[in-house]
Structure 1
Amino acid sequence: MFDALKEKPADKILALGQAFREDPRETKIDLGVGVYKTPEGVTPVMRAVKAAEKQLWEAETTKAYTALAGEPAFADAMIALVLGDAVARDQVSAIATPGGTGAVRQAFDLVKMANPGGRVFVSDPTWPNHLSILAHMGIEVVMYRYFDPETVGVDFTGMMADLDGLRAGDVVLLHGCCHNPTGANLNMTEWRAVVDLLNARGALPMIDIAYQGFGDGLEADAAAVRFVAENCPEMLIAASCSKNFGIYRERTGILMAVAQDKSLQKVTQGNLAYLNRQNYSFPPDHGARLVTMVLTDPALRADWQSELEDVRLGMLKLRETLAAELQRLSGSDRFGFVAQHRGMFSRLGATPEQVERLRAEHAIYMIGDSRINIAGLNARTVPILAKAMIEVGV
């Protein structure tokens, strides 16, 4: 049987990380893999998470299975974090998942169960794993324009023109904040127009929010999700705790299904639990329990929010410093977008040839479309990147 298997293409981001590790040059800079790093290049355990882990170690008495949907307290805490008071709790069904990726996969499974012929509209570009999962599941994908390389911002006119082709039952995948890989976000006026169009067409919004707290702050980053929840009959939300809690390896995420019709909550919750049972039975609990402890303990939550804000402001400072250095070296304000984008990522507008030169000549590693992880920089490497970009003609 195994001789019938075919070689699968390597994940480009993971392959880039392997190439970086194998590069012997001491001056190398890794701007590829989307993991937060301190100026020292470390992905730390957040203080509040460490404190919660110590408390859990002392108090935990069993490693028995949790519920199929995960602990209710985790769902309550995450729904409050993402949705605030936008909708009532009994309008939301939720399951704990192995990371945000697990939430995305379960959401697509639910879509396929509910509407086997439905299409998923996906931004061009998007996180590559969105497309990989959809292709693996055999779900039809329709790309919509999102990023304008000329303005280095959102191509909203193109986006709306492409979404005009929506049919009832289609799904539109949107990024809640800190768009990956571009860093360019819709403003609230644009979100309103998108919601009006989706409602007019009978399409379902699905929001992937993996970076809440990394853009403009915890509340501001959730504003679009909450607006959609308040104004659409139904929606799906895939949320990740990997980044804003720094618990990447704990694989902690949640899938939420919101319906204005409260009578749909019970059957939706049952279907979500069914999907967990089919895919991995019980979800992992360690990370979810830490998140619950942090969000429900006032002291832990205050410390977490303080550290998260330091992370956010540190990335904004790096953006501003890089934009200023590029302006100084180029004598042009064409790189001002770097300071305007939000989250961990920005597309620099370099060609694949320029990206290759940056790697070969300067040991600077980034994705082929010139997406960089801002958190991979520090005060020492910002001038190095800026100088190298100008030298290769970006």
Structure 2
Amino acid sequence: MQKVRIAIDAMGGDHGAPVTVPGAAVSLERHPDSEFLIYGDAAQLEPLMAKYPALKAASRVIHTDVSVRMDAKPSQALRQGRWKSSMWLAIDAVKKGEADVVVSAGNTGALMAMAKIHLRTKPGVERPAIAAVWPTLRGESVVLDVGASIGADSQQLVQMAAMGAAMARVLFDLERPKVGLLNVGVEEVKGLEEVREAGRLLREQPLPHLDYTGFVEGDDIGKGTVDVVVTEGFAGNIALKTAEGTAKQIAEYLRSALGRTLRSRLGYLLAREAFRTLRDKLDPRKINGGVFLGLNGVVIKSHGSTDAEGFAAAVDLGYDVVRYDLLEKVNQMLGSQPSVPPVTLAAGAQS
């Protein structure tokens, strides 16, 4: 079986190499048919790599002492990090065909800008979106955009609906995934003008590969009301991080309550397996990583604040996307869908 070649931006994220290197090592244990190109400061990387002989044997370290700061603006990152940063070089490996996928926990805006400039978007796609697979009461849903860019007009929202539906068809084996637009209410008169106009387009256009059900609200995401939730990156990123924070809060409440008395500790022992399952369900690290849809190449974005286990989950996602040709199948489905004609909107919003 052909190896899956994974380029790692080792210096990206809040913690950099102390998280990305052990994370890659954990992923390699789960997927021995992986090999890595690891970009970053060799002086930091080599001592870490020495702790993981299997990863060292399956990797090549490419030195650069330039990394993109987490607080850098995309334009600043492009000026300072283009051609020589660990992020740019990792993307470049995908561009040159030296790697099948790039995984980065770095600055989201910079990653989006560099990936769009270097890999280019697919025909008919204005800009990429980060799609996350979200656990729900009914299983899983695709949510996008969870942070690739701020704001979106109606045409971009419709494009995201098409991309998300294509991804849901591949992942969940659905003929016509249910698609909803995230809004402040389900009534058609509510929300931003761009969202209302996108809803009108999705209702009126012949889109045989998706079932547009209307507006959904924030609580519908976890309920699994629809298979695909579409929103712009500002709201999507807030929703994602709010859900993760809530999961951590509930887990902490449970931990505190179960250790408070002897009776509660005994109850935990009796229901240990159930609590272990609940803990796994509430662990945001298990679902870390989002796929950039709409690019000529596979880019995976990990949360910047995650730990090694969370980064390993993002690397696992990149492995799966490549091994199962996810983006190629999504692109094939997008190519078979009728396009929606562009529209022009006046600025403004209503609630």
Shared fold, TM over 0.5: no
Give me the TM-score of the superposition, normalised by structure 2.
0.30
Give me the TM-score of the superposition, normalised by structure 1.
0.28
Give the number of the structure with larger relative contact order, counting CA–CA contacts within 8 Å between residues 6 or more apart: 1
